[in-house]
Chains A and B, each alone.
Chain A
Amino acid sequence: MAPAKPGDAAFANVDHVNAELFTLTYGAMVRQLLTDFEDVEEVNKQLDTMGYNIGIRLIDDFLSKANVTRCSEFRETADVIAKIGFKMFLGVTATVSNWNADFTECSLVLDDNPLVDFVELPETCQGLYYCNVLCGVIRGALEMVSMRTEVKWARDMLRGDDAYELRLKLIEHVAEEYPYKDDD
């Protein structure tokens, strides 16, 4: 028997929903956003914000189930996101690659992307980052563990590229500060 991957245990720990239902619900939501905002750029922004709001809650769910310890460096963080985070919430894993010289920037290449089944971008939505919600989720979750990051799509198969690649950039570690002033 092959040794269990770290993400598998976490995946087994969480409730599952039908993948098609999930994909179609997400699709319906993006569709509604396009109708409501009529502007592709604005929809990208909305998806990112929604993702952020998901991420700041998701982190606690993740920490409580994934059984991981504090990461000592950003490389480890990226690995945990790719192997455990993606597995736990999307059922897929990602590959970490393309590190820059000082290990603050990397790419997450998704091995599979369940959000885009049945999706084709029409002519009018070519600027849309359909899965932009994922960027927000990662950004929000990392912010809750003291890392300010920037997450962008680098390659998107819906836009004609050959893979789904997220570019993850660490801006800074936010140090924990004493939140009260002395005089209040």
Chain B
Amino acid sequence: MRCLYIFNRNGMCLHYHVWLRSLMTLSPQQDQKLMFGMLFSLNSFTAKIDPVSSGKENNPPCSFYSFRTNTYKLHFMETASGIKIILLTDPRIGDLREALMHIYSNIYVEYVVKNPLYSPGQPFRCELFNMALDHYVKTLQ
């Protein structure tokens, strides 16, 4: 595992977590903005280029769930409420769609959304979330 981003629908980075990232060429703000912008464009790209279901309003737009380079793999999930979860990992790792869903349902919703002190739409720092996330991510490797 390298790092994790959580964005809300407005492009606000709610959470950024690093496990291992030796190189960071941009400032955190630029880095997050670039990440969100790429996801946004790639999402509209995948929907527009879709040769099977495009043009029909009844079908929900298709989306991508990962891409891989020679040094890392990016896993992506978006919920209907616009929460985007991005996980960067080693390129050799397999399909993590279920793991991202688990992070959303069992960690983000339980420890952040249900936290009465959290104001929705704001970045969060939550000890329990970090612990649960660390613990879960260790089981994936």
Contact = CB atoms under 8 A, between A and B. Distances in A.
Interface stretch (A1-9, A55-63, A87-95, A103-111): A55-63
Interface in B17-55: 33, 36-37, 40
Given A63-B79, A70-B60, A145-B81, A56 B105 contact: no
B114 A61 contact: yes
Nearest to B41: A178
Interface size classification for chain B: 20 to 34
B59 interface: yes
B9 A60 contact: no
B72 to A, nearest CB: 24
Contacts of A70: 60, 80
Contact of B11 (A56, A69, A179): A179
A72 B60 contact: yes
B53 to A, nearest CB: 11
A180 B33 contact: yes
A64 B9 contact: no
Interface size classification for chain A: 10 to 19
Interface in A67-95: 69-70, 72-73
A162 interface: no
A57 B105 contact: no
B40 A64 contact: no
B91 interface: no
A28 to B, nearest CB: 18
Interface in B73-130: 79-83, 101, 104-106, 108-109, 113-114, 120
A60 B79 contact: yes
Nearest to A61: B109
A102 interface: no
Nearest to B60: A70
Given A72-B59, A180-B37, A57 B80 contact: no
A176 B9 contact: yes
Contacts of B9: 144, 146, 176
A176 B104 CA distance: 21
A64 B80 contact: no
Given A60-B113, A72-B57, A176-B82, 7 more contacts: A56-B120, A61-B113, A64-B101, A64-B109, A65-B105, A69-B60, A73-B58
Give me the 7 closest cross-chain CB pairs, A-B, nearest first: A64-B105, A179-B11, A70-B60, A144-B81, A72-B58, A64-B109, A60-B113
